[in-house]
Chains A and B, each alone.
Chain A
Amino acid sequence: MDFLVFQTGTLTFQALIDGVLLGILFALIAYGMALQWGVMNIINIAQGELVIMGGYIAYFMYQIGIHPAFGILVSPIIMYFVGIILYKLVITKVVDRDLFISILATFGISILMQQLMNFVFGADVVVAQSNFGTLLLFDKAVTIPYSKLFAAAVSIVFAICLIIYMRRSKLGRAIRATAQNARAAKILGVDTEKVYASTFGINAALCGIAGALVAITFTLHPYVGLPYTVRSFMIVIVAGLGNLPGVVMSGMGLGVFEEFADYILGTEFRIAAVFSLLVFILLYRRFKLARKREYLK
Chain B
Amino acid sequence: MNTVLEFNKRELTICGAILILALIAPFIFSAYKLQMAIMIVYIVAAITWNIQGGETGYNTFGNIMFFGLGMYLCSGIQIGMYFPLAEWTEGGGVKTFIHKPDQYFKGLFVGLLFAGVVPAIVAGLIGYGILGLRGHYFAICTLGIGIASGEIAGGIELIGAGQGMTSPPFPNVGGLEFRGQFLYFLCLALLILTFTFVRWLYTTRFRLVLNAIRDNEDKAEAMGIETMRYKITGWVISAFFVGIAGGLVGTMVGYIEPVEVAFDGRELGVFMVLMTILGGKGTLWGPIIGAVLFTIFKESFWTLFLGWQYVALGVLIIVIVIYFPEGLMGYLRERKPEWFGEVIDEKDRKAQITLD
Chain A residues in the interface with B (C-beta under 8 A): 43, 90, 93-94, 97, 99-101, 103-105, 107-116, 226, 230, 233, 237, 266, 268-269, 271-272, 275-276, 278-279, 282-283, 286-287, 290, 295-297
Contacts from B to A (Cβ < 8 Å): 59, 129-130, 132-137, 139-141, 143-145, 147-148, 151-152, 154-155, 161-162, 266, 270, 273-274, 277, 308, 310-311, 313-318, 321-322, 325
- The answer to whether B317 touches A107 (Cβ under 8 A) is yes
Q: Do the beta carbons of A272 and B148 come within 8 Å of each other? A: yes
Q: Which of B141, B266, B313 contacts A278 (CB 8 A)?
A: B141
Q: How far is the CA of A148 from the CA of B41 in the complex (A)?
A: 47
Tell me the complex Cα distance, A99–B132, Å.
18
- Residues of chain A within 8 A (CB-CB) of B140 are 43, 103, 230, 233, 278, 282
Of all chain B residues, the one with the shortest Cβ separation from A289 is: B132
A-B contact pairs, 17 of them (CB 8 A): A93-B322, A100-B135, A100-B136, A104-B274, A105-B322, A108-B316, A111-B313, A115-B314, A230-B147, A272-B151, A272-B154, A278-B141, A282-B144, A286-B129, A286-B132, A295-B132, A297-B134
Are B134 and A296 in contact (CB-based, < 8 A)?
Answer: yes
What's the Cα separation between A275 and B152 when bound, in Å? 10
Pair B311/A116 contact, Cβ less than 8 Å = yes
Question: Please, which residues of chain B bring their CB within 8 A of the CB of A43?
Answer: 136, 140
Instruction: Give the complex CA separation of A104 and B321 in angstroms.
Output: 7
Task: Give the distance to chain B from A261, nearest Cβ to Cβ, in Å.
Answer: 12
| Chain B contact residues, majority secondary structure | helix
A256 to B321, CA, bound (A): 37
What A residues does B316 contact at CB under 8 A? 108
Q: Which residues of B contact A268 (CB under 8 A)?
A: 151, 154-155, 161-162
Q: Which residue of the partner chain, among B143, B155, B310, contacts A114 with CB atoms under 8 Å? A: B310
Whether B151 pairs with A271 at a CB distance below 8 angstroms is: yes
Distance of A137 from chain B, by nearest CB (Å):
32
For B154, the chain A residues whose CB sits under 8 A away are 268, 272
Task: List the B side residues contacting A287 at CB < 8 Å.
Answer: 129, 132
Minimal beta-carbon separation of B76 from chain A (angstroms): 20
A272 to B151, CA, bound (A): 5
User: Which residues of chain A have C-beta atoms less than 8 A from B277's C-beta?
Assistant: 104
How many A-B residue pairs lie within 8 Å, measured between CB atoms?
Answer: 126
What would 14 more interface pairs be, CB under 8 Å, given A230-B147, A282-B140, A287-B129?
Answer: A90-B322, A99-B135, A99-B136, A100-B136, A104-B273, A111-B313, A115-B308, A115-B310, A271-B147, A279-B144, A283-B129, A283-B141, A286-B132, A290-B132
Q: When the two chains form their complex, are residues B133 and A282 in contact, meaning their CB atoms are under 8 A apart?
A: yes
Query: CA separation between A230 and B342, bound complex, in Å?
Result: 43
Give chain B nearest CB distance to A296 CB in angstroms: 5
Q: How far is the CB of A283 from chain B (nearest CB, A)?
A: 5
Residues of B close to A237: CB separation below 8 A: 137
* B307 and chain A: residue at smallest CB distance: A119
Q: Tell me how far the C-beta of B231 lies from the nearest C-beta in chain A, rounded to whole angstroms.
A: 13
A112 touches B321 (CB 8 A): no
**Chain A residues within an 8 Å CB radius of B313:** 108, 111
- A268-B154, A295-B134 known; A279-B317 Cβ under 8 A: no
The docked-state distance in angstroms from the alpha carbon of A246 to that of B338 is 55
The CA-CA distance from A295 to B135 in the complex, in Å, is: 10
Give every chain B residue within 8 A of A279 (Cβ-Cβ).
130, 141, 144-145, 148
Tell me which residues across on chain A come within 8 A of B147, comparing CB atoms.
226, 230, 271, 275
Distance in angstroms between the alpha carbons of A243 and B144 in the assembled complex: 24
Are A230 and B144 touching (Cβ within 8 A)?
yes
A93 to B320, CA, bound (A): 12
Contact between chains at B314 and A112 (CB < 8 Å): yes
- How close is B49's CB to chain A, nearest CB, in angstroms? 13
For the complex of A and B, the 10 pairs showing the least CB-CB separation, nearest first, are A112-B314, A108-B317, A275-B148, A272-B151, A108-B318, A111-B314, A115-B310, A278-B144, A99-B136, A275-B144
